Chain A
Amino acid sequence: MQPIVSINNLSKVYSSGHQALTDITLDIQPGEILALLGPNGAGKTTLISTICGIVSATSGSVQVDGHDIVSDYRHTRSMIGLVPQELTLGAFEKVFNTLAFSRGLHGKQPNRQYLEQLLKDLSLWDKRDSTLMSLSGGMKRRVLIGKALSHEPRVLFLDEPTAGVDVELRKDMWKLINRLRESGVTIILTTHYIEEAEEIADRVGIINNGKLLLVEDKTDLMQKLGSKKLSIELREPLNTIPDSLNKYDLLLSDNGLTLNYQYDTRSTRTGITALMKDINNAGLILRDIHTSQSTLEDIFVNLVADQS
């Protein structure tokens, strides 16, 4: 399948000399949700801004739907919707008018019905005649999404769409993003919230210092890089771990009631059977056992820390 967005060896050096992107190569498939994770200043916004035409690339190329973003910018930009990170909105325009303005900028004929439905989907229909400056932060965020969707884009870039919004609105946005994906829109979002990527993304890209460290299917990534933790709860507390269990690098909890064992899900032998046997031989009586998977956050923190 031809990727909807194809980034090839993209680099960006700002006039200040700051290298914001280094040799980024990435294919984004139609209809997927790709989450780009990275700390502040990692290059996420520069990457999005370059694809959308706000920032000029220093080298490399980007194709959207097989068309170059520079030589065929009319085609590529008409397919793209962008929700910026900042609440960049005018002050005196009315909600409905600002959406109609954005739709017109992309060369689309006015379509009152479509915009009405869009405002209803974003719970903004009641505010259609309100001025932008009278809206709350959450509503402004929704207006920005409405503006980005006003011209019916096939690719939607969301630059930290849920930054600074409350939990309820964040969940509403996740629902909206899923609905958009169901309608065939490809979504690329940047986020600080690992929980967000974990919840809605199909693939996850991790970017740091302008370099794309990895792009993986979310589930594969968690299985591939994620270690599992086996927690063994004891009936009686221990002061020290018995010598016979030293080879397992167990960690004893402060209260002495839990032994934690870290193991790799990718290896053929996890060591669990031998551990259980040795625990039994050491005369320890178990109260409970449970396992937990590493979160995306753990993976992210480890990767970024490794690179640093």
Chain B
Amino acid sequence: MNWQAIRVIYTAEMLRTWNTLLQSIASPVISTCLYFVVFGSAIGSRIQSVEDVSYGVFIVPGLIMLSLLTQSISNASFGIYFPKFTGTIYEILSAPLSFFEVVLGYVGAAATKSLIIGTIILITASFFVDLQIKHPFWMIAFLLLTCITFSLFGFIIGIWADNFEKLQLIPLLVITPLVFLGGSFYSIDMLPPLWQKISLFNPVLYLISGFRWSFFEVHDVSVGVSLLSILCFLGICLAIVWWMFKTGYKLRQ
């Protein structure tokens, strides 16, 4: 195992975050605070509680997931896309590194950044609402798994993309709608029966449901199914990255 390489990639990526602190950390925290003000205080005060949980508290897991997913994807995709764009990817390709070591460095750093952002949002939320976590271990487990899995997904997008437009395409057109329609701000029980069934095809619903369960024991689908679905997605992403490095897809000519 080339630990030195993992260390330098990880450190360089984290350094990029500290150098752009406002953009990397402050910006998602500010947008989350705005969500709290709009959905929690302004609109939320007019909505009755959801399954005995006040609306302002109910949306916290969804808001954290929204930031985790978008940040994980954007950090990891940019991390690997930028060396491709500048041409410095030659260093990674000509270094004695396995695909797993490259992934550990880049995805590890992207997941760490998302984890920091998720934790900050959680702390910020506790200033707005009275928050209690019923299953802290599972909350951390869901948080970690989501950060890692979606950073891997972002890494795949970063390799696949060959321009900045493609880099933004999936996060904007696929992920954001899925998060909004995956029960971030509501329980699917509040939807008409047809839409409840359609929502079950949304993979993000399973993440948010499992994560919300760890807070309030309130869920749309069973926790086991949530956990299994995220583990499946993790496995699929790992397999795709392995295949990309093995075949050199969009990396080696």
User: How distant is A53 from chain B, measured CB to nearest CB, in Å?
Assistant: 5
Does A265 touch B at the CB level, under 8 Å?
no
Question: Does B48 belong to the interface (CB within 8 Å)?
Answer: no
Number of interface residues of B (CB under 8 A): 25
8 residue pairs bridging A and B, Cβ less than 8 Å apart: A54-B252, A55-B253, A56-B253, A74-B96, A89-B88, A104-B8, A105-B9, A106-B96
Q: Are A104 and B7 in contact (CB under 8 A)?
A: yes
- Check A108 for interface membership: any CB of B closer than 8 A: yes
Find chain A residues with CB under 8 A from B243 CB: none
Instruction: List, in ascending order, chain B residues with CB within 8 A of A76's CB.
Output: 96
Inter-chain residue pair count (beta carbon < 8 A): 78
* A53 to B245 alpha-carbon distance, docked (Å): 12
Given A55-B253, A92-B19, A104-B5, answer yes or no on A80-B94 (Cβ-Cβ < 8 Å): yes
Contact B8 A89 (CB under 8 A): no
Picked from B5, B12, B16, B248, the residue with its CB within 8 Å of the CB of A107 is B5
Measured CB to CB, the residues of A under 8 A from B are 14-15, 49, 52-56, 73-78, 80, 82, 84, 86, 88-93, 97, 100-109, 147
Docked complex: B177-208 residues within 8 A CB-CB of A: none
Is B96 touching A90 in the complex (CB atoms < 8 A)? no
Q: Which residues of A contact B88 (CB under 8 A)?
A: 88-90
Give the distance in Å from the alpha carbon of A205 to the alpha carbon of B248 in the complex. Answer: 29
The answer to whether A107 touches B252 (Cβ under 8 A) is no
User: Are A107 and B90 neighbours in the complex by a CB distance under 8 Å?
Assistant: no
Q: Which residues of B contact A91 (CB under 8 A)?
A: 86
Say which residue of B7, B90, B96 sits within 8 Å of A84 (CB atoms). B90
In angstroms, Cα B252 to Cα A77, docked, is 15
Distance from B116 Cβ to chain A, minimum over Cβ atoms (Å) = 21
A80 CB contacts on chain B under 8 angstroms: 94
Report how far A104 CA is from B91 CA in the complex, Å.
11
When distances are taken between beta carbons in the complex, the residues of chain B under 8 Å from A93 are 12
Within the complex, the shortest CB–CB distance from B58 to chain A, in Å, comes to 41
B93 interface contact, C-beta 8 A: yes
Binding site for A on B (CB under 8 A): 2-5, 7-9, 12, 16, 19, 83, 86-88, 90-97, 248, 252-253
Contact B2 A52, beta carbon cutoff 8 Å: no
Q: How far is the CB of A179 from chain B (nearest CB, A)?
A: 23
Q: Which of chain B's residues has its CB closest to A12's CB?
A: B253
Given contacts A88-B86, A88-B87, contact A107 B96 (CB under 8 A): yes
Q: B248 to A106, Cβ gap below 8 A? A: no
Enumerate the 7 nearest inter-chain pairs by beta-carbon distance, A residue then B residue, closest first: A104-B8, A88-B87, A105-B95, A74-B96, A77-B96, A52-B94, A107-B2
Q: How far is the CA of A273 from the CA of B243 in the complex (A)?
A: 72
> Across the two chains, which residue of chain A brings its CB closest to B253?
A55
User: A73 to chain B: which residues have CB within 8 Å?
Assistant: 96
In Å, the complex CA distance between A89 and B86 comes to 7
Q: Specify which chain A residues have a CB less than 8 angstroms from the CB of B2 in the assembled complex.
A: 74, 105, 107
Once the chains are docked, how many angstroms separate the CA of A55 from the CA of B87? 14
Select which of A78, A82, A100, A102 is within 8 A of B96 by beta carbon.
A78
A154 to B88, CA, bound (A): 22
**Which A residues touch B87, using CB under 8 A?**
84, 86, 88
Shortest B242–chain A CB gap in Å is 16
Q: How far is the CA of A78 from the CA of B248 in the complex (A)?
A: 20
Which B residues touch A90, using CB under 8 A? 83, 86, 88
The answer to whether A105 and B90 have CB atoms under 8 Å apart is: no
Per the bound structure, the CA–CA distance linking A106 and B94 in Å amounts to 9
User: Residue on B with the closest CB to A52?
Assistant: B94
Query: What distance in Å separates the Cβ of B232 from its nearest Cβ neighbour in chain A?
Result: 31
Residue picked from A15, A49, A84, A107, most chain B C-beta under 10 Å: A107
Partner of B97 from the list A55, A100, A105, A147 (CB cut-off 8 Å) is A105
Assembled-state Cα–Cα distance A103/B178 (Å): 42
Shortest Cβ distance from B247 into A: residue: A56
